[in-house]
Amino acid sequence: MSKSKGFSITSAGRYSLALFELASESNLLEKIEEQSLSILDLISSSKDFSNLIKDPTSSQEDLLKVISNIADSNNFENLLKNFLSFLITKKRFFYVEQILKSFIEICSKKRGELKAELKSAKELSSDEITKITDELTENFSSKIKLNYKHDESLIGGLIVQVGSTMVDTSIKNKLQQIENRMIEA
């Protein structure tokens, strides 16, 4: 493991925990989590913003202006605005995506949520997704945070993964099993 990789994982955990504690103490946890998700959406949807974060030649002044404009136009809490500015001044803004993802995970764990992945061959309606989420919540006796993806390559069926438990009822998987048996024979 490279030195910078270890540093980024460690610092992301520490900074995200600090943000969680500050937001929790200020009773702003829900708002800060929502605003953090919007920043993560911006990073993934805007190539310019993503490049600005990762560009080592970006000046602190430019980054501070951009964050100030984003925070003001989206009515961000001062706590989050100050936190992002702090990351810029400490030359840690390069890790903002990792820090905010870690913060979201901490919030989810503190609420007792389990992460689940759902992939389906056909597009599911929001009612069907809600029904599956409710069934998983009941089966695992825990709140479920479901990440849904439509995957036509499955041909038919579903793949559900909660933690290390995986249920694969896809036709693609069944065809793969048949192919493996034919090869072994």
Task: Give helix 47-54 / helix 60-73 axis angle, nearest 10°.
Answer: 140
Identify the pLDDT of residue 8: 62
- Where exactly are the structural domains of the chain? 3-109, 113-184
Which tens digit of pLDDT belongs to each residue from 17-53?
Answer: 999 999 999 999 999 999 999 999 999 999 999 999 9
CB 114 within 8 A of CB 27: no
Which tens digit of pLDDT belongs to each residue from 53-73?
Answer: 988 888 999 999 999 999 999
Which tens digit of pLDDT belongs to each residue from 72-123?
Answer: 999 999 999 999 999 999 988 989 999 999 999 999 889 888 888 999 989 9
Residues in the chain, total: 185
For the segment 6-10, the average pLDDT, to the nearest whole number, is: 63
CATH number for 3-109 (one of 1.20.810.10, 3.40.630.30, 1.10.520.20, 1.20.140.10): it is 1.10.520.20
DSSP bridge partners of 21: none
pLDDT, averaged across the chain: 90
